[in-house]
Structure 1
């Protein structure tokens, strides 16, 4: 049987763990051929330690140590040992490292945990190619050659915010059962043909209440959903939007990072006030903070402690734009007061629009005591 050799593009760093002398030989072999890998072997295998492997005393103590350090664990031992050792450490498929199991003779490489998101399926194929072994992949989407939600999200750069209904939607995809997709900007369009039983719904499925911009209340249109033939309260679906979904909808939530938050603030504004202002604006406008791509402000604020810390708390980068750049950006709410103080007519609206690559303003300037905020949307559908 011809062996397909995939590119060595598995996640790093990688820990290769062995128990027996024969397994340790395989671990050393992989250490030399897998970039970013470290071999862990029993301390009694001094020959391997002399060749650069790291010794351990007790396997039960080793796994908790490796769990937070490595993105891939290649375990050369019985699968049952790995299951028992990793069970207390499991959190979720979006957080756990990839776990791959190899038998001591190097005949089979099993993708055990985090096949898609963690990259265990890819890792299993790479390790199998290096050992001349057979990769064992059991994820249904791979076996049936159908798209998987987590793989699609990874490929398209979508954040997996809520995967509660992932198993049910995955079953619908595998069994050709009906489900729905709300994706008004077409992020999942490359998979439309493969998702053949999906009912694709758009903005017409909601009665939108707007305030002149896009303050959008997600009120489902009963007539529109009836015409689709699915009830989102009982049939699970996929919600791909920066908008918050209605609470009654059963859906996997995937977030595109399409929002830019423009921020202006007074000197020495506390971090808490900036963070609370962002969260309040997003809540009032039914937007998800997970959909933020970046924050943006004027270059005069690039050393403002509260603003820098707010970006860290919100777990998003912040960019600072020159006053010359901001001055060229038309805005709906220019301020002569701001112009008098720093030479531009707008900070938050201008920064949001400039940092949004092909953007439009969806939340105009909002004020607190010390903060101004605006939100622009870029990317698909902007």
Structure 2
């Protein structure tokens, strides 16, 4: 299944912040930064005994250290020349949704450069924090910051949204920077954007008819205002902020809120494959996007159910369990006499979904297929 095991939506990385230096002067500044930067660990060459006494961790060769800390820390501050850092991290850079934030500081602390993962990884904000410590100048080169335009990926990160198709980000960023017409479907206003922020934005809602991939009158008007030549084949681009899977034709950046709780009941020995297939089919039939799953929920009798545990692991989503006492008191639309006779509660999937979501907003009532029952609740 295309959505299984897709971790591109990671908005943060485990671990603390690494602060590394090589020269004696750089080490002294690194210790100063580490002391004032919560959640940071200082790495220094083994020869700097004074720093080791102060709690720094030793390394022998920088080229061996960097690959080791790359996946361990969510951000790194290097007190050394930018060229050294570029050569060391170049083979490790993979994808902006996964790479850690990288900041480079000269050993006098005069310039603090946001080098990698400025928005999504938080390097821009980290550079500003380090600059306040050193009294230096934060150097930020991302176009949206320089031009004082909203950064969609940063707004998404702050709103806790999952970027389903990050490959669309560059095209959306270009539209923002170059005043191109941009559609926005954000019924819950999660991004907080208005036309005061982006004059070229056009709001789309469910009252609009579906359109063909051609210019609409509103798009044409916006394009003319931006100085574009009218063209029947102009690209429609937009940002889709919703757990709803479908969107109009054109290029859309899909931002998914973690707004769905999937309640699951299953027979003993049910495989992860069967559970995931039923979940996928139920969501597809309802027009909901799997990346919007916040977590799974079930009864505590299933806490050792291997297939259920594996299904949650494959989707990298938490699994919450509730006692039968908790589930017994939840009113549900489709109680089951058979389940009540078997385990003593009238509902597992619906009741667990409602309890975990913390709301009575059941978007999909109990659906049964084979050995699996599924219900979906919306998170307020």
Gap change, CA 1:245 and 1:84, over 3 Å in 2: farther
SS at the partner of 2:121? coil
The residue aligned with 1:309 is 310
The residue aligned with 1:86 is 89
Q: CA deviation at 1:134?
A: 1.2
* Mapped partners of 2:200, 2:378: distance in 1: 30
Gap change, CA 1:256 and 1:192, over 3 Å in 2: farther
SS at the partner of 1:263? strand
Aligned length: 356
The residue aligned with 2:166 is 163
SS at the partner of 2:240? strand
The residue aligned with 1:25 is 28
RMSD: 2.7
For residues 63-102 of structure 1, what are the structure 2 equivalents within 5 Å? 63-102=66-105
2:373 counterpart of 1:372 = yes
For residues 174-189 of structure 1, what are the structure 2 equivalents within 5 Å? 174-189=177-192
The residue aligned with 1:229 is 219
Q: CA deviation at 1:105?
A: 1.8
* 8 A Cα contact 1:15 1:73, kept in partner: yes
2:68 counterpart of 1:58 = no
* 8 A Cα contact 1:12 1:37, kept in partner: no
Deviates more, 1:260-269 or 1:44-53: 44-53
Deviates more, 1:91-100 or 1:189-198: 189-198
* Mapped partners of 1:354, 1:367: distance in 2: 20
* Mapped partners of 2:354, 2:101: distance in 1: 39
Relative to the length of structure 2, the TM-score reads 0.84
* Mapped partners of 1:305, 1:137: distance in 2: 47
Cα deviations by residue, 1:165-202 (Å, 9 ceiling, x for unpaired): 21221122223221111223332235563133111111
* 8 A Cα contact 2:299 2:321, kept in partner: yes
Deviates more, 1:66-75 or 1:24-33: 24-33
* 8 A Cα contact 1:239 1:245, kept in partner: no
Deviates more, 1:174-183 or 1:220-229: 220-229
* Mapped partners of 1:252, 1:291: distance in 2: 14
Q: CA deviation at 1:271?
A: 2.8
* Mapped partners of 2:185, 2:242: distance in 1: 8
The residue aligned with 1:250 is 251
* 8 A Cα contact 1:100 1:112, kept in partner: yes
* Mapped partners of 1:170, 1:348: distance in 2: 41
Q: CA deviation at 1:90?
A: 0.7
Which of the residues 135, 143, 152 maps onto 1:140?
Answer: 143
Deviates more, 1:247-256 or 1:115-124: 247-256
* Mapped partners of 2:15, 2:352: distance in 1: 36
Gap change, CA 1:156 and 1:232, over 3 Å in 2: farther
* Mapped partners of 2:176, 2:165: distance in 1: 18
The residue aligned with 2:227 is none
Cα deviations by residue, 1:40-59 (Å, 9 ceiling, x for unpaired): 22334344334433333332
* 8 A Cα contact 1:232 1:250, kept in partner: no
The residue aligned with 1:4 is none
Q: CA deviation at 1:267?
A: 2.5
* 8 A Cα contact 2:261 2:377, kept in partner: yes
For residues 288-367 of structure 1, what are the structure 2 equivalents within 5 Å? 288-367=289-368
* Mapped partners of 2:129, 2:288: distance in 1: 40
Structure 2 unaligned blocks of 5 or more: 1-13, 221-231
Q: CA deviation at 1:324?
A: 4.7
SS at the partner of 1:353? helix
The residue aligned with 1:7 is none
Gap change, CA 1:165 and 1:85, over 3 Å in 2: same
Cα deviations by residue, 1:297-321 (Å, 9 ceiling, x for unpaired): 2343334333233222222222233
* Mapped partners of 1:53, 1:352: distance in 2: 46
* Mapped partners of 2:176, 2:302: distance in 1: 49
Relative to the length of structure 1, the TM-score reads 0.83
For residues 4-15 of structure 1, what are the structure 2 equivalents within 5 Å? 13-15=16-18
Gap change, CA 1:37 and 1:179, over 3 Å in 2: same
Deviates more, 1:16-25 or 1:255-264: 16-25
Which of the residues 38, 54, 57 maps onto 1:35?
Answer: 38
The residue aligned with 1:203 is 206
